Amino acid sequence: MSNHIQERPVAGILQRHQVIRTWRALLWFFDHWVLVFAVLLGVLNLLPFLAPVFMRWNWTVPANLIYALYSPLCHQMAQRSFFLFGAQPMYNIAELPLPDGNLADMNALRAFVGSSELGWKVAWSDRMVYMYGGLWLAGAAFAVLRRRRTIKPLSLAGFGLLLLPMMVDGGTHLISDIAGGLTGGFRYENQWLADLTSHALPPWFYVGDAFGSFNSWMRLISGLTFGVAVVWLAYPYLNGAMVDSARALRAKLQRAGHS
């Protein structure tokens, strides 16, 4: 009986220590949530670039695993993706050596991961690079700025305005691909823009999706504004919730004598 009575206080002390450790872990997260988000987004952004690195090293199994993991998140079409270790950072659809010359086959474009001559494809498209890279950069900017001033959440009107480039660019590209196909839609040759600017810019700027083209610039701009919009709207609310939670948890620790 006496042994049983002694065990109960010991078990209670161990349980109390476990609770305190859990509270401290939570408090660390509440104080460093921006860092945690930055690391997670950094990993999410880095992994697609490891796929072409692994392909160059002939580590095809981990490379194909990354391609498979990111496939549900992105179309992975080769003409709208970056390539590493090749002659160019991106290629227009006509420059890709697809089987049977089938340039309009989305599945063939998804399946093509590159070659030793062209380089190897990043595991998601340039739009996804810009979108999630924009989230990461905006989050880093928030981490710096919040130490100097109070950042108020973006208004819904401002949020909609910053998302407008993404909606216009993505929406018109979707309509173009459905109506005219990948090489016949109005967003492939952008003849409307060439006429609007009186062909003042080189032909390669208007046609296709290669790096530096109009379509490439639109994905860059709309991806970055998307990242800024999401962070500016969500992070101030998250920060307020985390600060309140940290304050309440510190009070609990102080009452428990573990400040």
CB 243 within 8 A of CB 32: no
Helix axes 33-56, 214-255, angle to 10 degrees: 140
Domain ranges in the chain are 24-255
Q: Tell me the pTM.
A: 0.86
Extract the residue ranges of the chain whose pLDDT is less than 70.
1-14, 99-104, 258-259
Q: In angstroms, rounded to a whole number, what is the distance separating the alpha carbons of residues 87 and 85?
A: 7
Measure the N-to-C terminal CA separation of the chain; round to a whole number of Å.
36
Distance CA 154, CA 163 (A): 12
Q: What is the pLDDT of residue 10?
A: 57
Q: Which residues contact 201 (CB under 8 A, 6 or more apart)?
A: 194
Task: With beta carbons less than 8 A apart as the criterion, state whether 208 and 218 touch.
Answer: no
| pLDDT (0 to 100) of residue 167 | 96
> Quick one: tokens of 208?
């296709």
Is-contact 115 20, C-beta < 8 A? no
CA atoms within 13 A on the CB side of 150: 4
Helix axes 33-56, 60-70, angle to 10 degrees: 130
d(CA 84, CA 251): 52
Can you give the chain as a three-state secondary structure string?
Answer: CHHHHHHHHHHHHHHHHHHHHHHHHHHHHHHCHHHHHHHHHHHHHHHHHHHHHHHHCCCHHHHHHHHHHHHHHCCCCHHHEEEECCCCCCCCHHHCCCHHHCCCCHHHHHHCCEECCCEEEEEEEHHHHHHHHHHHHHHHHHHHHCCCCCCCCCCHHHHHHHHHHHHHHHHHHHHHHHHHCCCCCHHHHCHHHHHHCCCCCCHHHHCCCCCCCHHHHHHHHHHHHHHHHHHHHHHHHHHHHHHHHHHHHHHHHHHCCCC
Q: What pLDDT does residue 252 have?
A: 85
Please name the residue that has the structure tokens 């496939």. 71
